């Protein structure tokens, strides 16, 4: 896939998420993830994981959101730059906030603030300050919450190009802190300005949030009838774009307000709406269970495709190399013996020239299947390229690996291929090398040693085994 195609997929993911089309975003993320894994493009992989995380979170699939967060952070640790790590802090906050682990949430946001300042990413910096303000408000530290929100507004104003909705989101936290501090005059001025902002015509979620906040302000002012109207507006808006989690909070507030007002009729209606919503949420959980199964299947399928060779179904070179590097690093500490067997079919070029490459591919597949049946669970067999295979054996001496190589050659020799009424016999050559008591710590070096031994087996007449001394 061309770089331009990957960029187009990335832009589509971001566009869909900004538009609030979360289920479509998830589907687009899977397309981007599959494409990114196929060509080992880290930016595409990271973009898919982080947008999957945010989208799953928004539709209530919390387990999948956390799976995507974990996948993002793991890939970011190995391949990400500082900007990717900054995004990682931003999304990791969701996990801590959901678990109500506010200390961990604040520590994550502090890391985001430090890195956001360093990189000059004022949009993420503003968002971090805003989230910090929200956590402090939940802890009833409204003065500190106001200070954080004001810093968030300063950062939002530094972001280029200017993004009014970024500033608006921070103002929600400023107003929330002012209400908590009982500075109702300042809060009223700000909330009235926000409720009437034409910007909200394009941002329904924020419009819902400001009416919800307005209801809270009016309750503080003991204007209960007006507060109920504000909550009714917020309820209708939340219903319009199916934000059930926000709607649940609004209905809870409506029920409590009706109880304070002694309005039995409205309270009954609010209670019924709340009960119906809980029923919907239970059905939503059932639907999410189906989504989860589908997600796990899709992720497993994508990972399997990314790690396997298209022709033989064995592991591909990339996965074999990466996994062996991990094993060798561990073995350098533990002293474990890691052995590489390099196996190469004899005379494939003659077979290809005589019968064609499609026939040659069928032979490679049969060899892969025959040899795979000879290795233990926990060992690794991958196609290195063409008709050459790499078998990586853990905790096995060279002597025992030689015995295993003999069984592999027997498996190859037992394959009988019929072509045009003629039965063809196959042979292979094998080279063996080990990690030299932990001195060899990369797949490249280990395979190179086995490949030298394989070359000696070819030069000595083929159909035999050589060990690298």
Q: Which residues are catalytic?
A: 387
446 neighbors 324 (Cβ within 8 angstroms): yes
Here the contacts of 271-277 (C-beta below 8 Å, separation 24 or greater) are 273/235, 274/248, 277/244, 277/247, 277/248, 277/251
For residues 125 and 99, what is the distance between their CA atoms, to the nearest angstrom? 23
Dmax (CA) for the chain in angstroms is 98
| Phi, psi for residue 369 in degrees, rounded to 5 | -65, -45
Rounded Cα distance, 230 and 122, in Å: 32
CB of 182 closer than 8 Å to CB of 220: yes
- Nearest CA-CA partner of 436 in 288, 289, 335, 350: 335
- Strands 380-385, 388-394: parallel, antiparallel or unpaired by DSSP? antiparallel
Give the count of beta carbons closer than 10 Å to the beta carbon of residue 370: 17
Alpha-carbon torsion 138, 211, 23, 288, what sign?
positive
User: Can you list the pairs that 370-373 forms with residues at least 24 positions away whose Cβ atoms lie under 8 Å?
Assistant: 370/411, 370/412, 370/414, 370/415, 371/343, 371/408, 371/411, 371/412, 372/314, 373/411
Name all contacts of 330-334 with Cβ < 8 Å and 24+ positions apart: 331/435, 331/438, 332/435, 332/438, 332/441, 333/438
CA angle 177, 181, 182 (to 5 degrees): 115
Is the distance from CB of 281 to CB of 262 less than 8 angstroms? Answer: no
Contact of 211 with 237, CB cutoff 8 Å: yes
């Amino acid at each position: 896939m061309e770089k331009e195609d990957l960029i187009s997929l990335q832009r589509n993911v971001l566009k869909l998420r900004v538009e609030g089309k979360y289920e479509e975003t998830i589907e687009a993320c899977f397309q981007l993830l599959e494409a990114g894994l196929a060509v080992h493009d880290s930016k595409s992989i990271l973009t898919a994981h982080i947008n999957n995380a945010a989208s799953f979170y928004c539709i209530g699939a919390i387990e999948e959101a956390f799976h995507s967060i974990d996948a993002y952070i793991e890939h970011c640790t190995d391949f990400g730059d500082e900007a990717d790590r900054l995004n990682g802090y931003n999304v990791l906050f969701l996990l801590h906030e959901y678990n109500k682990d506010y200390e961990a949430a604040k520590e994550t946001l502090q890391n985001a603030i430090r890195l956001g300042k360093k990189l000059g990413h004022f949009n993420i910096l503003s968002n971090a300050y805003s989230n910090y303000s929200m956590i402090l408000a939940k802890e009833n530290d409204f003065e500190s919450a106001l200070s954080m929100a004001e810093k968030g507004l300063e950062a939002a104003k530094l972001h280029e190009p200017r993004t009014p909705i970024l500033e608006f989101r921070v103002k929600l936290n400023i107003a929330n802190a002012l209400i908590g501090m009982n500075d109702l005059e300042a809060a009223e001025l700000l909330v009235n300005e926000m409720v009437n902002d034409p910007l909200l015509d394009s941002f329904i979620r924020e419009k819902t949030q400001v009416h919800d906040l307005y209801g809270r302000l009016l309750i503080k002012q003991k204007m209960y009838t007006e507060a109920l109207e504000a909550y009714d507006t917020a309820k209708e808006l939340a219903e319009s774009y199916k934000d059930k989690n926000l709607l649940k909070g609004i209905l809870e507030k409506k029920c409590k307000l009706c109880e304070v007002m002694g309005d039995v009729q409205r309270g009954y209606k609010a209670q019924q709406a709340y009960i119906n919503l809980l029923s919907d949420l239970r059905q939503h959980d059932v639907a999410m269970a189906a989504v989860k199964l589908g997600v796990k299947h899709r992720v497993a399928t994508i990972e399997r495709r990314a790690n396997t060779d298209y022709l033989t179904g064995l592991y591909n070179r990339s996965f074999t190399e990466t996994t062996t590097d991990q094993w060798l690093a561990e073995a350098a500490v533990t002293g474990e013996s890691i052995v590489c067997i390099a196996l190469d079919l004899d005379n494939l070029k003659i077979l290809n020239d005589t019968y064609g490459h499609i026939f040659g591919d069928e032979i490679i597949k049969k060899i892969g299947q025959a040899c795979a049946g000879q290795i233990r669970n926990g060992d690794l067999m991958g196609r290195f390229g063409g008709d050459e295979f790499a078998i990586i054996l853990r905790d096995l001496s060279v002597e025992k690996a030689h015995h295993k190589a003999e069984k592999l050659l027997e498996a190859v020799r037992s394959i009988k291929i019929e072509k045009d009424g003629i039965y063809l016999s196959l042979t292979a050559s094998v080279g063996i090398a080990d990690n030299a008591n932990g001195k060899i710590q990369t797949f490249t070096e280990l395979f190179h040693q086995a490949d030298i031994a394989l070359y000696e087996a070819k030069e000595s007449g083929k159909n035999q085994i050589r060990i690298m001394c």
